[in-house]
Amino acid sequence: MNRIRTAPPRYWLVALTLVFFLGFPTVISSFLASEWTQALILAIAIMGLNILVGYSGQLSLGHGAFMALGAYVSAILAHRYKMDYLVTVPIAAVFTGGVGFLFGIPALRLSPLYLALATFALAVVTPSLIKRPAGLTGGVQGILVLQPDPPDFAREAFAFVTGTAMTSDQWIYYITLLLAVVLFWLAWNLVRHRPGRAMRAIRDGEVAAAASGVNVAGYKTLAFGISAFYGGTAGSLFALSTGFISPDTFPVSLSIQLLVGAVVGGLASIPGPLLGAIFAFFLPIGSNQWVPSQTWLPDQITSTVKNAGPAVSYGVVLILIMMFAPNGIVGLLRSGYVILNRRLRGASDPKTGQMPPDPQTV
């Protein structure tokens, strides 16, 4: 009981967040549950990208390609070989992680700039590569994925709480939430132990890390493999949630969207990918509602503004983030918490007589 009372505030915040996401589908429609499912899927993919970019310091502009690979592996196994879709999720994750690990080996020879260009080229050519084996991938026609029905125990529990029947979208939401919690917990443990410390050392200086005995090549390829593992999981869940995938489902803009979410949420932080995913997913939806009424604008101008709205919003917000919150939303919240704590406690700590630590160094 004393351990619960003395638990750090962040543990209580995690518990409240988990309770919120568990109860959220009970008060929203099935359509909104499907949208929040896709936001959680983006959070999983951004968490993998965060491990690669934020913790190991390797810039990637092609993370959407790993999502595409995971989605097609699951869709092919489920559609053509009639395998249970939930079984295909770990298969797609492991396969994509292996491909990412192999991709990380030649990437060791590339400088940061050329690595970014190589990953960007991977995102560009992926839709074209998917179209080639049309007999396997369906070509431009894509693959239809049947969404599973909720099992009896989930249907009965949901009906007991809400009094309504659980839909497939709500069931997929809970599957995605469970996997997101597990993967975020694994990432939290990873960065707190030796692999995470080694990746941060490589990010801060490869020469110093190698001089300290860190296997630079091994940990950099490991970061690529883990990042692709998360991306493959997200892609598999994405195919399940949408019910249909095609080469056009994974454009280059998806990789940019993931990077935007990672930067806006806060690199090298565990809650950052969740906040960044919510921001990156719902910003394009909200930006379309900011367009002025069509009653006094020509239709062509209104259409142009609507199409450019998300891109302009991304650019404006990124500039504001870089100017006022260089460490992302998480860094901004951490700074605000420290400043508020400093105001409440006074200019200095009464026990030590020292100023509270700078939030940028915490």
Residues 144-178 pLDDT 10s: 988 888 999 989 988 988 888 899 999 999 999 99
Q: Residue 307: pLDDT above 70?
A: no
Q: What is the pLDDT of residue 353?
A: 47
Q: What is the pLDDT of residue 345?
A: 77
Q: Is residue 130 part of a domain?
A: yes
Q: Is residue 124 part of a domain?
A: yes
Region for 57 from its dihedrals, namely left if φ exceeds 0, alpha if ψ lies in -120 to 50, beta otherwise: left
Q: Is residue 207 part of a domain?
A: yes
Q: Is residue 273 part of a domain?
A: no
Are 131 and 247 within 8 A, CB to CB? yes
Give the number of domains in the chain: 1
Q: Is residue 312 part of a domain?
A: no
Confidence class for position 11, pLDDT limits 50, 70, 90: confident
Confidence class for position 359, pLDDT limits 50, 70, 90: very low
pLDDT top residue among 150 and 298: 150
Please tell me the distance from the alpha carbon of residue 234 to that of residue 261, in angstroms, as a whole number: 14
Q: Which domain holds residue 17?
A: 2-251
Q: Is residue 356 part of a domain?
A: no
- Report percent pLDDT > 70 for the chain: 86
pLDDT in tens, 243-258: 999 999 999 989 999 9
Are 46 and 277 within 8 A, CB to CB? yes
Q: Is residue 176 part of a domain?
A: yes
DSSP bridge partners of 245: 143
- Report percent pLDDT > 90 for the chain: 53
Confidence class for position 361, pLDDT limits 50, 70, 90: very low
CB atoms within 10 A of CB 242: 17
Phi, psi of 56, deg, nearest 5? -100, -10
Q: Is residue 357 part of a domain?
A: no
Mean pLDDT in residue range 320-342:
83
